[in-house]
A and B are shown apart, each in its own frame.
Chain A
Amino acid sequence: MAGIYIFSDRADIAAEIVGFARAAGKEAFVMALGEEAAQALTNAGADKIYAIDGDSELIESYAKDIAEFLIKAGAELFAVGATPRGRDLAARVAGYLDCAMASDVVSVEYHDNQLTCVRMLYGGAVQEKQVLSGLSVVTIPAGKFEPAQGESTIEALKLKADTRVSIVETAPIVKEGVDLSKAEKVVCVGMALDKEEDLQIARDLAAVLGAELGCTRSIAEERHWLPVESYIGISGAVIKPRLYISMGVSGQIQHVYGIRDANLIVAIDINEKAPIFKAADYGIVGDLYEVVPLLTEALKK
């Protein structure tokens, strides 16, 4: 049946994509791997839930058969939650269909019944709008749409898996740092910090503010001063705190991508031409070694 076919390994994103389909006046069919995952989606408002039944625990391994199923079903869009598993599955399905795909869209809508997507290029410096025609694939990040609600029934769907890739083991991710994506306030250190022990200046400011400590990619990946979970940017944490204060961060595009949804951006840097000031609500041009301790003291009052 025509309509939007949906997959996400996260139930919340699946419900949000159903919300998108509903708002567009389209039928919504959600696919899930296995009965248990399907059960978790019974209140997501879909017209039907397909519980995929096959020989692999890896949803990505069903790409070829999902592509064939979408053609047979007369699907108009395969909309997938933008998580690592989802992106992999979506791009492989797009490959088997040899069709258009828009990844990690900023927005997606039907405009005169044409699927129109906006996405970011160059680490967020540029926005591109594109129109996809024919059966297409999109990946949609969390939080783009209001989740739909309403009960739906489950139908089993036997699919053939590519069993060439198999799981050896899974291990929990040991997070050394905090989950910055949920932080209310973030103090971020950049490469203008000279020595690892000077992180104390940032920690003192963070303590006064009740903020978490974050950093740029180079601080985590080149200098290894903070765990990788702490770095903010397009390939790291994307955050939306009420307050973000940077110290010694130049503000490369990839970093700014990670803070664009911050409510208030404050920058402290010695270089008045640093791009971070263009992205900031407030800034102080000055030596962080002078400014930050004074700021910490002033905030104590």
Chain B
Amino acid sequence: MPLVVVCYKWVLDEADIRINADLSIDLSKAKGKISDYDKNAIEAAVQAAAALNGKVAGLTFGTADAKPSLKDALSRGMDEAWYINEPQASQADGAGTARVLAAAIKKMADVSLIICAEGASDTYARQTGPRIGALLDLPVVTSVGKLEISGNTLIATRVLDDCLQKVKVELPAVVAVLPEITSAPIPGLKAVLAAGKKPVTELKAQDLGVDLTPKSRVTEIKGYMMDRKNIIFNEGETAERVNNLVAALRKEGVV
């Protein structure tokens, strides 16, 4: 039975990140979530598997913190999950991440399609799909806004800067999808309950024989603060606030 593999990432919710006055970052309040665009990718994988009469395997690479992702991911319609639970995941770069994912995919049988979101909501590097394709020497199609599958042929519509480009490829292939590919429905209670019974394969990077030494070295991480005036009119009658704003905009020369 053909297998559709969908890669997803457990990330910190950027809305919970606090930037301190010295521009250091406070992640202590940040909760995890499946990267927003990955939810659309998972749904796209479920639909592709239906078209292929196949199954869906979710694949994630993360630290022990990523464990809660499994239930959420499995409730979104996948049949099984592969979890590469690795302490070094937090330090891994794009090269290492792709090596781990590619090595895990090699262990799966009958893989006919690999789907990734275009980018993750933390790094938004947009490397993983193409890198996996290169490592497995599979054809790659990125920036995909629409997927059609007929038999073993995949037709994808790519959303490029200057045109919509429809391309054709025989499976197996790697596809990176845009969030507009499909909506990501919130799983129902029944799906959530069923998720706990689905099989999970848990491995370490070592089990896959992958060296995770990063090729790039992070030398600094700091918060970004826009340098803005922050003049907020929050007192007095509404008309007065509006007049104050108009006066300020006239002074700035923008109206």
Contacts and interface: CB of A to CB of B under 8 A. Distances in A.
Contacts of B140: 60, 88, 92, 165
Interface string A209-238: 100000000000100000010000011000
B108 interface: no
B9 interface: no
Interface in A95-126: 95-96, 98-104, 116, 119-126
Q: How large is the interface on B (under 10, 10 to 19, 20 to 34, 35 or more residues)?
A: 35 or more
A3 interface: no
A285 B12 contact: no
Contact of A170 (B166, B173, B234): B166
Given A87-B126, A92-B140, A283-B233, A243 B254 contact: yes
Interface in A35-82: 58, 60, 63-64, 67
Interface string B204-227: 000000000011111111111010
Contacts of A207: none
A133 interface: yes
Contacts of B15: 252-253
Contact of A266 (B168, B220, B245): B245
B135 A286 contact: no
Contacts of A92: 130-131, 133-134, 140
B238 A228 contact: no
B238 A291 contact: yes
A166 interface: yes
A241 B251 CA distance: 17
A100 B95 contact: yes
Interface stretch (B61-69, B74-82, B154-162, B194-202): B154-162
A158 interface: no
Interface stretch (A25-33, A191-199, A274-282): A274-282
B54 interface: no
Contact of A133 (B121, B142, B215): B215
A166 B167 CA distance: 5
A295 B173 CA distance: 54
A291 B237 CA distance: 10
B191 interface: no
A97 B185 CA distance: 38
A280 B232 contact: yes
B218 A94 contact: no
Given A133-B217, A167-B166, A228-B180, A94 B231 contact: no
Contacts of A133: 215-217
A150 B171 CA distance: 45
B232 A101 contact: no
Interface residues of A, number: 88
B244 to A, nearest CB: 8
A265 interface: yes
Given A164-B170, A299-B255, A260 B232 contact: no
Given A91-B130, A285-B234, A129 B224 contact: no
B217 A130 contact: yes
A1 interface: no
A173 B137 CA distance: 31
A172 B163 contact: yes
B254 A264 contact: yes
B25 interface: yes
B19 interface: yes
Contact of B241 (A10, A95, A102, A286): A286
A240 interface: no
A209 B242 CA distance: 15
Given A130-B216, A167-B165, A170-B163, A285 B232 contact: yes
Contact of B164 (A119, A128, A130, A171): A171
A127 B99 contact: no
Contacts of A287: 238
Given A98-B95, A173-B159, A291-B238, A88 B130 contact: yes
A258 B19 CA distance: 19
Contact of B95 (A83, A94, A129): A94
Contacts of A10: 161
Nearest to A185: B254
A121 B224 CA distance: 10
A10 B170 CA distance: 29
B110 to A, nearest CB: 19
A277 B229 CA distance: 10
Q: Which of A64, A88, A128 has the most chain B CB atoms inside 10 A of its CB?
A: A88
B89 to A, nearest CB: 16
11 contacts: A83-B161, A84-B142, A91-B127, A91-B128, A92-B130, A103-B126, A173-B159, A243-B249, A260-B226, A277-B232, A294-B238
Which 3 residue pairs of A and B lie closest in terms of their CB atoms, listed nearest first? A95-B134, A95-B131, A100-B215
Given A92-B134, A266-B245, 5 more contacts: A88-B140, A129-B221, A185-B254, A277-B230, A280-B232
